[in-house]
Structure formats: structure tokens, C-alpha cells
Amino acid sequence: MHQLLVRLYRRSDFYYVNIFDAKSDAMRESWADLLSFPKNVKVVFKYEAPYGNIKLVQATLDGMRFFRDLDLNYFINMSGQCYPLKPISMVEKQLSDGFSHMEFAPIPGWGLIGENGGLDRINYRWFTILGTMIRIPRIRRSLPENMKPYGGSAWLCLSKTHMDYIVDYLASHLNVLKFYEHLKFPEEMIFQTVLMNSPFARQVLNRLEWYVDWREGGGHPAILTINHIPDLLACGRLFARKFEDDQLFKIIEARNLTS
């Protein structure tokens, strides 16, 4: 996370960092020391075990609310395993079209293997018990407000206008937020659904700006290695994930310096 912040940091931008599962004071102090940045970086410690449940939606909304009254053009959410593939000036240029960039697909029809086109995420109430997700059939399966469901990646590049709309809409339609409370991976559906049922639907570009390798199949993308370098350099995306090898950062940085 520290390396990502160092790479992204500019005085003119704003950063909101939410550290999950920092349960002890010692853990929080170590993170606070590591992420000691100027006032335009806000570090908070909220939510435990957010994987696959509404807490990740709440954490993302917390970030959106933090930026609500700040002067910015785009909201970009990422994790500590993300990293930019292009210089920040080129990221800015690619996002200067005024569109939001995110992956979206209607449900059913979303290409999820073994999940009935995404319907299984909606038609059941999901709970995590002892690390295992279980499901209970939902009586009411249609979305509130006659919304058509959409899904896609949780990683978003939203224009400020669209971010503000999501915050305001969910604040005034708590029934929508409540509906998603026990859906499976709601962070991969709620933001797409709100925007694609909004007056701004035609201002959303169906493009994921992250390189992610799903070729191995399964429920998790591949951890990026040195073998991914040709794909990373040729993909044209702004970011990539999941990184665990610091050596890859050095190769990307060398490439960025000559771009």
C-alpha cells in the first residue's frame, strides 16, 4: 500500500485509505506510521472481514462521501494489490473524456460460470458462517424501484458527477442498499445497477481499466509474475492487479519513465 501511494501521490489530488482488519492498537499504529502522508491523505481503520459482503460496498461509499465536497474529476477505487501501468499524466489524459469507465453487463447474461448469469447472487440471501458462504432462497427477488440488475468488476473509474449521483441516490433510496445487504459480492453489482438505471447510463463506457488474468479459472485471478510483463506492457489498461512481487514494480517504473 505504501508503494502504491508513493507512486500515485500528487499534492493536487486527494486520497482515502481504508485499512481492513487492523484489530489491535499496535497494528493501527504501524499502519499509521507507514502511511504518514500530508493532509490530502486520509487514513481510516474500519470494517473487519469485508470479503464478499456489504462491508466492501460501505467502505467504497465511505470513500465516495469523503470526496463528495472536494474538487476533483474522477473517483478511482483500488486495493493494495493494484498498481498503475502508465504515468499519472497519461491516466489523467485517458480519463479526460468525461465518461465513467467500468465493466458492466445485464443480469442474467453476466458471464459468471456456475452462477446462472448472476441470478444466483440475487435470488438468494447469502451469509458467511465460519468462513463458508451459505445461501437461503429469497422470497422477493425483484429489485426495488423497478431497477434492472447489472454486474461487473468492483474496480471503477467514475466521473465526479456519476460518483455524486451514486452517493445521493443510495442516501435517498435506503431500500436499494438494504436489498444488496445479503447479496453475494454486492460490490460487483450495486454501483453498475445504480448507474445503468440512471439518466447517466449513456455516459458510462463499458471498459475495465484494470488488467486482470482470469485464464486459470476459479474464483480468484492469477497473481501477476514476471511472465505477465509482455501482457502488462501491451494491454493498454491504466492499472493491473494482483501484485505480490516488488520486482514487477521496478520493471513497470522503468517502462513508465521511457513512455
Residue from 176, 172, 175, 154 nearest 164 by CA: 172
Q: What is the spatial distance between Cα 250 and Cα 238, in angstroms, rounded to a whole number?
A: 17
pLDDT band at 47 (very low <50, low <70, confident <90, very high): confident
Give, in order, the Cα–Cα distances in Å from 121 to each of 9, 186, 187: 37, 8, 11
The 10s digit of each residue's pLDDT in 193-208 is 999 999 999 999 999 9
3-state secondary structure of 162: helix
Tell me what the pLDDT averaged over the chain comes to.
91
Residue 28: the pLDDT is 78
Whether 225 shows a pLDDT value over 90: the answer reads: yes
CA 199 from centroid of its chain's CA atoms: 22
Q: Which residues have CB under 8 Å from 257's CB, separation 6+?
A: none
CA 227 from centroid of its chain's CA atoms: 25
Residue 258: the pLDDT is 54
Range of the domain at 157: 2-257
Whether 50 shows a pLDDT value over 80: the answer reads: no
Number of domains composing the chain: 1
Whether 259 shows a pLDDT value over 60: the answer reads: no
DSSP 224: P
Whether 24 shows a pLDDT value over 80: the answer reads: no
Rounded average pLDDT over 152-178: 97
Residue 257: the pLDDT is 58
Q: What is the spatial distance between Cα 83 and Cα 70, in angstroms, rounded to a whole number?
A: 24
Burial string for 226-240 (b: 16+ CB within 10 Å, else e) reads eebeeebeeeebbbb
Q: Which residues have CB under 8 Å from 3's CB, separation 6+?
A: 83, 246, 249
The pTM for the full model equals: 0.92
What is the maximal distance between C-alpha atoms in the chain?
A: 57
Rounded average pLDDT over 120-149: 91
Residue 1: the pLDDT is 82
More confident residue, 183 or 29: 183
